[in-house]
Amino acid sequence: MRAAQGQASDRELPPAKHGLAGFAERVAATLFFTLFPADCHICGFPLIEVSRLPVCQACLIALRPLQGSYCAVCGESLNLPSEDCVETRCMLCQRTDPPYERAVAYGSYDTELRDLIHLLKFQLVRPAAAVLGHMLAGTIASLERQMPVGTIAVVPVPLYSRKRRQRGFNQAEMIAREALEQLRLPKRLELCTGVLLRCRETSSQIGLTRHQRRENLRGAFAVSDPTRIVNRDILLVDDVFTTGTTASECARVLLRAGAARVWVATVARTLKISSGLMVLPEDPTVDLGEEGRKIASA
């Protein structure tokens, strides 16, 4: 977990829980957590409230949305003033158009958000899905306003059948359900489960190159019933956008099956490009220089 031991005692409690609490409340809380001790699963600080979600209020408040400038297509970070990059693409998206229209995410995966997602996926703490769904709902709402009119098919990225049986649920589907329940737009957003299938189990993507990742996922997805998505706009939903390989492969499969366009919304994404990012100019006649050409050909 994120906080090191020894720092917990120096951490401040949420403002509402300082010495303003009544004596009886403090005694009851002390007695309860003496008998039933529990710590926040993110920072390790002792919890002072009874909750189905073992995360303190301070960590929940720390879950902030992305801020700054991002690629207008894949959502990668850009080292540009926000007002200058409304329609700016990152270097990779300028070289090759992704199969999806746009990918957006709520927050960065390199924060407490990663721990909350792991809490759901690996520790099977299902109440975490409600918090993650709330984040995804805001992300979907902002993207939905940019999508064409009509009903949009919301398709969660599927798990392989064996992994789903082991986990007991598909986290992407669970988070999507929570988000749509909060948005309350049944005539606009239709959850379509079972449309996209994971046909085979794939090895871990960690440590693979972009080409190896694509080969690892090739043939891993299929559409069960093309009539449910033909000529429809699709909103592909997942918990994390890492390199975009999974989202791209799913989008290709959906487009081949007859989907009109594919959009992507995730709770978190990994931001890979450093602050020294070079953005390719839109004009191909502009000379990038020797160093720029090396980066572009990498």
3-state secondary structure the chain: CCCCCCCHHHCCCCHHHCCCCCHHHHHHHHHHHHHCCCECCCCCCECCCCCCCCCCHHHHHCCCCCCCEECCCCCCEECCCHHHCCCCCCHHHHHCCCCCCCEEEEEECCCHHHHHHHHHHCCCCCCHHHHHHHHHHHHHHHHHCCCCCCCEEEEECCCCHHHHHHHCCCHHHHHHHHHHHHHCCCCCEEECCCCEEECCCCCCCCCCCHHHHHHHHCCCEEECCHHHCCCCEEEEEEEEECCCHHHHHHHHHHHHCCCCEEEEEEEEECCCCCCCCCCCCCCCCCCCHHHHHHHHHC
Amino acid at 36: F
Measured in residues, the chain has a length of 298
Per-residue model confidence (pLDDT) at position 36: 55
In a domain, 29, yes or no: yes
* 88, pLDDT greater than 50: yes
Lowest mean pLDDT among 16-30, 90-104, 118-132, 250-264: 16-30
Q: Across-strand partners of 241? A: 269
In this structure, the answer to whether residues 48 and 128 fall within a common structural domain is: no
Is residue 67 included in any domain, yes or no? no
What is the mean predicted confidence (pLDDT) over 169-184?
97
Q: Is residue 125 part of a domain?
A: yes
pLDDT for residue 227? 96
**Greater confidence, 164 or 12?**
164
Q: Is residue 198 part of a domain?
A: yes
Closest CA to 12 of 36, 48, 41: 48
pLDDT higher than 70, residue 297? no
- What confidence score (pLDDT) does residue 161 get? 93
pLDDT band at 295 (very low <50, low <70, confident <90, very high): very low
Q: State whether 113 and 185 are in the same domain.
A: yes
User: Is 89 a domain residue?
Assistant: no
| 210 token code pair | 């972009």
15 within a domain of the structure (yes/no): no
Query: Based on the structure, what is the number of domains in the chain?
Result: 2
Residues 25 and 165 in one domain: no
pLDDT of residue 196: 97
> What is the rounded radius of gyration, in angstroms, for the C-alpha atoms of the chain?
22
**pLDDT at residue 243, as a whole number:** 87
In a domain, 131, yes or no: yes
Q: State yes or no: pLDDT of 157 exceeds 60.
A: yes
Average pLDDT over residues 181-187: 95
Q: Which amino acid is at 51?
A: S
pLDDT of 198 strictly over 90: yes
Please give the structure tokens belonging to residue 165: 């049986």
Give the residue numbers spanning the domain of 45: 1-6+21-59
Question: How far is residue 6's CA from residue 260's CA, in Å, rounded to a whole number?
Answer: 54
pTM: 0.78
In a domain, 275, yes or no: no
- Spell out the residues 6+ positions from residue 42 whose beta carbon is closer than 8 angstroms to its own: 1, 2, 3, 55, 56, 59, 112, 115, 116, 119
Span of 80-84, 90-94, 157-161 with lowest mean pLDDT = 80-84
Least confidently predicted of 4-18, 123-137, 181-195, 227-241: 4-18
> What pLDDT, on the 0 to 100 scale, is given for residue 27?
61
Mean per-residue pLDDT over the chain, rounded:
81
